[in-house]
């Protein structure tokens, strides 16, 4: 192996005998110069005394392409449970007890696309919310342990049966309580179904109390394979280490994907292991593909929030990921010789045990690497020289490839740039880096790194000011209509088999029971759409109430909140009810009443609602006839359009149209 490396290095060196210049000159400098110019530290990279923990990969929630971009090792997906889970709801594969459908939502598609790009990508499933029928009237998934375990196992089996996807890890309940007996029941049911290969992560919350519970319960300790903590701040706890289990930061980042977010990501990818022995770090979220005004806007490794234009941005965190992901693989091992740099920053080194070595050095400053949480204690990073000595089996490495990122000022900014390689045979296995603030270096024996190139994406555009959808799709690729973002409830394409007329194809709200919630779901269902800056607009939609007497539906404009804040959303909401009344409210909850009265409305019949908002005034029509007008509305001044229902009830919508100006 060493002889081949030396031969290849000499061939490359012969092609470029000139000394490293420009940026490359920063990578390796004479030791004498180091001593004269700035403080220097010496760091040994050695496997003589054995290796550290096994590396399990870098990933993202909700995936990967080898040696092109982020090249993620792990894709973690939500097991849709019909409830609000930060920026919207994801549909369950079992809305009701006797209902099974393994084609709802987009996660199946996403996992298959990830596997196309990286057949070895690790797949993880984790529930946030659960369909209401599992709770037997309680907002709790552990009422019937066997039933909930069965529900999760059906999702895993469905992944394989319908999509040929093998799930590698399964979680318990995202950032909520775990039940010790449920975890044991889940393990037994997995084994009974021949799913011994599916490993369990717990508890996707804090290090405690799961770690202490495992130490006190030998059976629990045996059935849990990985302790996963969220936003650990690069630190772990003694109990977690005492379990001798794999430790993961199973959700981290959640920071706007600016250079500060990239700095956060670069820092924690190294320091989660240096400080906390965590062998995997998983970012929330994979791609920021939701309306930016929803909670945690642009908190993804990249941004793709305009499906109507196709515009996307490959943000800096993608290239920060590549510094680790393109030059390591799950199954590599960290060296024991990892740590902090004397003047701030950190370094890690990993090996495949076959002679390859990858070293990642980061010098992210406090100011430019603060994650959204937890608070970051102050530290200082300054200009320094770092000398690394390769010992043990690495002492004969002839050459290291160098990849470089510099965050900050546009004039100094570089993302994942390949520099001239370092030739080590003449230096006795030693090299020195000159390090400034907010830099990232990868030095590796691997020559397969690549900064993928791609055509310029389409230019950004506002959401169309005139938008309509008649939902006339016989065999939709996805269960949900494009651009609608369900915030409570689930709205799906529906075929009225008994309606051969104008409303054969509709959009239907399909939940008749409140889910076991993760966030503060509203008590009404709602799906938002459009441009948050819309102010003056006309919304028109055909609606169909399915529930006699108590049923109700609405259309709305200027809706100002979504995600986990949906319950307190304001806007102008135009409701009709099966009991023959209408209502105009200034909020989704219905506390702010602008107008109410009689309307010629009943269930099981189609009606056309029209809502017009112009400046401070609003008006509404029922079947083309004015029902109310000139109601003064001062707040909010802008927001999304929306449709929804009075409660968790079946209702249908058709021929949706909005015409807006900002």
Q: Which residues are catalytic?
A: 175, 251
Angle between helices 145-163 and 180-192 (to 10 degrees): 40
Assign 138 to helix, strand or coil: coil
Q: Per residue in 47-63, is it b (16+ CB within 10 Å) or e — as a string?
A: beeeebeebbbbbbbbb
Distances (CA, A) of 601 to 316, 430, 512, 545: 54, 82, 21, 9
How far are the Cα atoms of 188, 197, 571 from residue 194, in angstroms, in the given order? 10, 8, 51
Helix %, strand %, coil % of the chain (to 5): 20, 35, 45
Spell out the alpha helix ranges (H) of 16-144.
Answer: 24-27, 31-37, 107-117
Nearest to 8 by CA among 430, 444, 399: 399
User: For residues 363 and 344, is the Cβ–Cβ distance under 8 A?
Assistant: yes
Cβ atoms of 13 and 425 within 8 Å: the answer is no
Distance between CA atoms of residues 344 and 338, nearest Å:
14
CA dihedral in degrees (255, 256, 258, 259; nearest 10)?
-10
Distance CA 264, CA 285 (A): 14
Which residues have CB under 8 Å from 333's CB, separation 6+? 51, 52, 53, 54, 55, 350, 351, 352, 353
Determine the Cα–Cα distance for residues 574 and 442; give it in Å rounded to an integer: 57
- Rounded to whole angstroms, how far apart are CA atoms 210 and 229? 10
Beta-bridge mates of residue 358: 350, 444
Helices (H), 304-347: 316-325
Alpha-carbon distance 435 to 27, whole Å?
8
First to last CA, the chain: 65
- The β-bridge relationship of strands 40-45 and 384-390 is parallel
Helix (H) or strand (E) holding 41: strand 40-45
| Backbone phi and psi for residue 450, each to the nearest 5 degrees, phi listed first | -155, 135
Q: How far apart are CA 467 and CA 482, in angstroms?
A: 11
Q: Write the CB contacts of 498 (distance below 8 Å, at least 6 apart in sequence).
A: none
Contact 578, 545 (CB under 8 A): yes
């Amino acid at each position: 192996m060493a002889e081949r490396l030396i031969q290849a290095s000499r061939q490359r060196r012969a092609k470029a005998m000139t000394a490293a210049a420009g940026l490359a000159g920063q990578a390796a400098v004479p030791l004498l110069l180091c001593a004269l110019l700035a403080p220097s530290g010496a760091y040994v990279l050695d496997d003589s005394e054995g290796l550290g923990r096994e590396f399990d990969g870098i990933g993202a929630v909700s995936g990967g392409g080898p040696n092109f971009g982020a090249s993620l090792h792990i894709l973690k997906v939500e097991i849709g449970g019909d409830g609000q889970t930060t920026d919207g709801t994801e549909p369950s594969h079992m809305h009701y007890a006797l209902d099974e459908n393994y084609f709802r939502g987009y996660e199946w598609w996403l996992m298959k696309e990830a596997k196309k790009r990286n057949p070895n990508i690790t797949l993880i499933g984790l529930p946030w919310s659960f369909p209401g029928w599992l709770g037997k009237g309680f907002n709790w998934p552990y009422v019937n342990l066997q039933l909930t375990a069965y529900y999760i196992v059906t999702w895993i089996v469905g992944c394989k049966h319908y999509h040929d996807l093998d799930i590698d890890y399964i979680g318990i309940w995202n950032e909520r309580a775990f039940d010790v007996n449920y975890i044991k029941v889940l393990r037994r049911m997995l084994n009974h179904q021949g799913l011994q290969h599916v490993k369990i992560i717990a508890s996707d919350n804090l290090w405690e109390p799961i770690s202490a519970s495992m130490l006190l319960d030998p059976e629990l300790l045996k059935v849990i394979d990985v302790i996963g903590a969220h936003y650990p701040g690069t630190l772990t706890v003694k109990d977690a280490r005492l379990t001798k289990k794999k430790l993961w930061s199973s959700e981290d980042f959640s920071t706007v994907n600016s250079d500060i977010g990239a700095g956060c990501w670069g820092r924690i990818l190294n320091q989660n292991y240096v400080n906390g022995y965590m062998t995997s770090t998983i970012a929330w979220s994979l791609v920021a593909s939701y309306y930016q005004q929803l909670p945690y806007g642009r908190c993804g490794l990249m941004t793709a929030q305009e499906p109507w234009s196709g515009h996307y941005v490959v943000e800096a965190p993608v290239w920060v990921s590549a510094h680790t992901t393109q030059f390591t693989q799950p199954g590599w091992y960290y060296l024991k010789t990892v740590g902090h740099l004397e003047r701030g920053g950190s370094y890690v080194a990993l090996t495949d045990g076959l002679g390859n070595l990858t070293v990642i050095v980061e010098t992210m400053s406090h100011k430019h690497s603060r994650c959204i949480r937890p608070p970051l204690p102050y530290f200082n990073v300054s200009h320094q020289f770092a000398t690394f000595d390769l010992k043990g089996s690495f002492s004969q490495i002839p050459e290291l490839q160098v990849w470089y990122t510099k965050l900050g000022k546009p004039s100094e900014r570089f993302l994942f740039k390949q520099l001239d390689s370092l030739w080590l045979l003449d230096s006795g296995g030693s090299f020195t880096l000159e390090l400034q603030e907010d830099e990232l270096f990868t030095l590796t024996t691997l020559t397969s790194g690549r900064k993928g190139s791609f055509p310029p994406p389409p230019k950004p555009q506002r959401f169309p000011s005139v938008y309509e959808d008649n939902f006339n799709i016989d065999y939709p690729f996805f269960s949900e209509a494009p651009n609608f973002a369900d915030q409570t409830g689930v709205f799906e394409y529906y075929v009225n088999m008994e309606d051969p007329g104008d409303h054969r194809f509709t959009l239907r709200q399909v939940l008749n029971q409140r889910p076991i919630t993760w966030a503060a779901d509203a008590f009404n269902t709602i799906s938002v759409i459009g441009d948050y800056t819309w102010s003056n607009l006309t919304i028109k939609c055909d609606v169909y109430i399915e529930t006699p007497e108590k049923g109700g539906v609405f259309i709305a404009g200027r809706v100002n909140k979504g995600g986990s804040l949906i319950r307190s959303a304001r806007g102008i909401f135009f409701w009709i009810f099966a009991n023959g009344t209408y209502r105009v409210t200034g909020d989704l909850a219905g506390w702010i009443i602008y107008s109410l009265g009689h309307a010629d409305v009943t269930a099981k019949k189609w009606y056309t609602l029209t809502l017009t908002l112009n400046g401070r005034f609003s008006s509404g029509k029922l079947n083309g006839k004015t029902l109310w007008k000139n109601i003064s509305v001062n707040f909010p001044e802008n927001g999304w359009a929306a449709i929804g229902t009075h409660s968790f009830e079946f209702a249908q919508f058709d021929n949706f149209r909005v015409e807006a100006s900002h």
